[in-house]
Amino acid sequence: MFKGSNVALVTPFKNNQLDEENYIKLIHFHIENGTNGLVPAGTTGESPTLSHDEHQKVIELCVKESSGKLPVIAGTGSNSTEEAISLTKHAEKIGANGALIVTPYYNKPTQEGLYQHYKAINDKCGIPILIYNIPGRSVIDMSVDTMARLFELKNIVGVKDATGDLNRVNQTLEKMGKEFIQLTGNDDNAMDFNKRGGVGAISVTANIAPKLCSEFQKNSVKNDDKSIQETTKLDEMLQPLHNAMFVESNPSPVKYAAKLLNLCTDDVRLPLVKVTEKTKGIVEKALRSSKLI
């Protein structure tokens, strides 16, 4: 169910309020342009600055508007285990297909603490769970051995790997096999990630280039010469765009790109700010190189 190009959806704002109209338009934009899955209320969706009600609302709208056409993997993580349980139970209740749960940030739990955090969520919920391992933001790194322990539980089905370490794909595949879903959280390594056994991405770039990202993912898991050539061609086209999306803190660059494509405003919530003039130029150049403007 969880494979291909899954978009880490931005949350549009207008006057610092959730812009429901443009959010709904974005969801249908992805349904119509080949995206394989929707991931609301993640880091790119500015979950740290969404109120609890807003967090639930963006997931509810995503489930409602996608209407079963695309799987919805709801961002329900927190550094509070009880809050993560509450958000995950809500996502399950309203019909999300899965939950993306980040490793607890700031608390710095041990590997045993990580295991117990996810086990507690697993035991209270009945929805497939993807571990979101992103040491660059959460400080801690879940080991492959801890993931293997978690995979023995009923609801833990895979990982969004944002470590940037491609050797992890091989290590995870060797330890858990192909049944354990591996999605990259790094757009720039998606080609090599899939070559090593990954099955897709949770993508920032897909917000603005859904067709290209979906086509890239479709070809990247095939081994025939034509598909390999097409994957390489698309990867070369997308790399400047991938890099531009992280010149400043995500999602400020991708929101500026979305503004240029008339998808939503470039408003972000403090402590994030809009991108600088220099970054605007980099984003615009990348959009042109990818033939999006």
Q: Which of 205, 274, 195 is nearest to 245 (CA)?
A: 205
Where in the chain are the domains? 4-222
pLDDT single digits (tens) 21-58: 999 999 999 999 999 999 999 999 999 999 999 999 99
**Of these residues, 115, 118, 132, 256, which one is catalytic?**
132
Can 118 be counted among the known catalytic residues?
A: no
Stated pTM of the model: 0.97
Distance of CA 61 to the CA centre of its chain: 17
Alpha carbon distance 231, 210 (integer Å):
15
pLDDT single digits (tens) 263-292: 999 999 999 999 999 999 999 999 999 999
Instruction: Give domain 4-222's CATH superfamily.
Output: Aldolase class I (3.20.20.70)
**Of these residues, 3, 160, 259, 280, which one is catalytic?**
160
Q: How confident is the model at residue 81 (pLDDT cuts 50, 70, 90)?
A: very high
CA angle, 101 then 103 then 108, to 5°: 155
Q: How confident is the model at residue 110 (pLDDT cuts 50, 70, 90)?
A: very high
Looking at every residue in the chain, the average pLDDT score rounds to: 97
Can 132 be counted among the known catalytic residues?
A: yes
